[in-house]
Amino acid sequence: GESVGLHLPTLSVQEGDNSIINCAYSNSASDYFIWYKQESGKGPQFIIDIRSNMDKRQGQRVTVLLNKTVKHLSLQIAATQPGDSAVYFCAENWAGGGNKLTFGTGTQLKVEL
């Protein structure tokens, strides 16, 4: 039968605007979360991470927010640039699972000039 690909949510933003990418994670026992960026033809690139004992962490132009109550993670990108166009994945891990990441389905970010 025909293979149906995952429908990636798409977020389109204007250059210079702030972007917010959301992710719902599945395991309430997860204690480590990461955001990755994947450009076409490349492997995922680490952006920022956060542990479950924190609810916010900031990097350069990026902020990750964690809401454990509703199992929600978000990535905020300030002053979005054309080079930010990519697919963004959240991933979760928990101490009992070893070094095994469970990835979300991804969000396609398109930056319009």
Partner 1 sequence: KAGVTQTPRYLIKTRGQQVTLSCSPISGHRSVSWYQQTPGQGLQFLFEYFSETQRNKGNFPGRFSGRQFSNSRSEMNVSTLELGDSALYLCASTPTGGVGEKLFFGSGTQLSVL
- Interface contacts to partner 1, rule CB under 8 A: 3-6, 31-32, 34, 36, 41-46, 49, 51, 89, 91, 93-95, 97-106
Minimum separation from the CB atom of position 44 to partner 1 (A): 5
- 96 three-state secondary structure: helix
Instruction: Report residue 97 CA to chain centroid gap.
Output: 20
Rounded to a whole number of angstroms, the minimum distance from the CB of residue 5 to partner 1 is 3
Nearer to partner 1, 82 or 103 (CB): 103
Q: Provide, rounded to whole angstroms, the least separation between the CB of residue 16 and partner 1.
A: 29
Closer residue to partner 1, CB minimum distance, 65 or 101: 101
Give the C-alpha separation, 12 to 108, whole Å.
Answer: 8
C-beta of 51 vs 56, nearer to partner 1: 51
Q: List % helix, strand, coil for the chain (3-state, nearest 5).
A: 5, 50, 45
Taking the C-alpha atoms of residue 51 and residue 95, their distance in angstroms, rounded to an integer, is 11
